[in-house]
Amino acid sequence: MSEAEVLYSDVKFTRERGNTGTASSPAETTYSEVRISKTQPSTGLTADSQQQLVSNGRSKFPSETVALGVVSVLLAAAVIALGLISHKNMELSQRLTEHDAVAKNLTEQYSKVKSCNMVQPMCPNPPDVKMNEPKCEEGWELHGGKCYNFSIDSLPWYLSRKQCIDQHGDLVKIDSREEQTFLELKVREKMNEDEDKFWIGLTDSETEDTWLWADGSPLDTSLTFWFSGEPDNWTGRDSNGEDCVRMGEKGGTPDLKCWFDKSCKEHHRHICEKEAAAARLKCV
């Protein structure tokens, strides 16, 4: 039998007749036996023939096999692509690590290059040092934007002036009472004895009693600090008189008046003066 037939039941339907006046009411009528046939799909092959096809390696659904093959190929391709991407990422990560190492090395080397004694535009805003802050070289003292050097050795006035010029300055010119006060106190500190005085840049060597500063400017007669009785152009030790000025009174003097005219040939210490450097910075 090619079809599977299933007999589920005998089915009876009951029809209730109306009151027709017949004597046979109620009555039951059997209309039919109902048989429902469930037909199973048939491959048209016997079990043996199906088994034979499988054993021959042939699928009964060749299109599904092809689809599976395609999916497998696509999966393999995806796996390979992921592997390549992962490899590229590893290479990129390694290069970034190498780049970071180089940058760190350069930073360390740059941080070591920091010593400079002169003004250098490369100094990136050095801390603790104000731009244009006046500075003096070693051995010079800063005051009022000027640098002063009080010599140790004693020389004639002209050699003293030469020494100042050789150091890019000149013998001191006193422009104010405040400057005189500063110098008078300083030389008092430095004087070892009463005659241990200091040359300043004032002379009347060109014209007697016409006092000029070393830079050629005339002496302001309202701003002088002559010791009592000076200048006297005394000729007791030098027949040429006294044409150069020294200052200093170890024991102090009234109203800062400590200037004396002396022979320019005398040996004394001296005071050099020059402008303070605008900005001699140190990179830190």
Compose the 186-225 pattern: x for residues touching Ca ion by CB under 5 A, - for all others: ------------------x---------------------
Nearer to Ca ion, 179 or 204 (CB): 204
The least CB distance from residue 180 to Ca ion, in Å, is 18
Chain centre distance of CA 261: 59
Chain centre distance of CA 168: 37
Site for Ca ion in 66-85 (CB under 5 A): none
Taking CB atoms, the residue at the shortest distance from Ca ion is 261
The least CB distance from residue 115 to Ca ion, in Å, is 51
Binding residues for Ca ion, rule CB under 5 A, total 8
Nearer to Ca ion, 257 or 280 (CB): 257
The one segment of 100-108, 140-148, 165-173, 232-240 that binds Ca ion by CB under 5 A:
232-240
249 binds Ca ion (CB under 5 A): no
- How far apart (Å, rounded) are the C-alpha atoms in residues 198 and 172? 10
The least CB distance from residue 232 to Ca ion, in Å, is 5
- How far apart (Å, rounded) are the C-alpha atoms in residues 283 and 125? 8
Nearer to Ca ion, 262 or 270 (CB): 262
266 binds Ca ion (CB under 5 A): no
The least CB distance from residue 236 to Ca ion, in Å, is 10
Compose the 156-185 pattern: x for residues touching Ca ion by CB under 5 A, - for all others: ------------------------------
- How far apart (Å, rounded) are the C-alpha atoms in residues 147 and 136? 6
- How far apart (Å, rounded) are the C-alpha atoms in residues 241 and 204? 10
Among 184, 201, 202, 242, binds Ca ion (CB under 5 A): 242
* Token code pair at residue 113: 């290059």
232 binds Ca ion (CB under 5 A): yes
Q: 275 - beta bridge partners?
A: 146
Nearer to Ca ion, 184 or 230 (CB): 230
233 binds Ca ion (CB under 5 A): yes
Residues that bind Ca ion (CB under 5 A): 204, 230, 232-233, 242-243, 260-261
